[in-house]
Amino acid sequence: MIRVTRVYRLAASHRLHAPQLGEEENRVLYGKCNNPFGHGHNYRLEISVRGPLDDSGRALDPAALDRLVEETVMRPFDHRNLNSEVPRFLEEVPTTENFGREVYRSLKDRWASVFPGPWPALEKVRIAETDRNIFEVAEA
């Protein structure tokens, strides 16, 4: 079994603010990430897949994955305000944990239409918000 990881970069802004909490609770919980005007990140996104080598000697058609990522990740999220431009985050706090889950779900929802059959399989999404804050999402 081979694991292949492709790396992408995208930029987005967000504000961490839970509407069910008061202003002071949000400031304490989220600190500077609760800035009323939001803030942005240049995210590093890694998509890892696994599968056996096919007759071409590859485990993945990288161009097919690139097209899927463009459609399901880059178009809806790149250079967006996650709070106001991504429907899911109108109701959910756009933490990077939740952002990673949304990216994973978006890929998984379309995966079989691009990669019919068992291989390659989506293994995980890894998203780095900063050099110190890195999150991974995989099937439970």
Separation between Cα atoms, residue 36 and residue 85, nearest integer Å = 16
Out of 23, 25, 70, 79, pick the active-site residue. Answer: 79
Q: Which of 14, 17, 33, 102 is catalytic?
A: 33
Q: Would you call 33 a catalytic residue per the annotation?
A: yes
Structural domain including 130 reads: 2-138
How far apart are the C-alpha atoms of 58 and 49, rounded to whole Å?
12
Identify residue 26 by its one-letter amino acid code. Answer: N
Is 14 in the active site?
no
For residue 115, what are the CA distances in angstroms to 7, 108, 125, 128? Answer: 19, 10, 17, 26
Give the pLDDT confidence score for residue 111 in this predicted structure: 98
- The mean pLDDT value of the chain amounts to 97
Give the burial class of 18: count Cβ atoms within 10 A of its Cβ; 0-12 exposed, 13-18 middle, 19 or more buried. Answer: middle
Task: Check if the beta carbon of residue 104 is closer than 8 Å to that of residue 136.
Answer: no
Task: Compute φ and ψ for 99, nearest 5 degrees.
Answer: -60, -45
- Structural domains in the chain (count): 1
**Catalytic: 25?**
no
Write the pLDDT tens digit of every residue in 75-90.
999 999 999 999 999 9
pLDDT at 139 over 90: no
Q: State residue 12's pLDDT score.
A: 99
CATH of the domain at 121: 3.30.479.10
What is the tens place of the pLDDT at every residue in 19-47? 999 999 999 999 999 999 999 999 999 99
DSSP state of 86: S
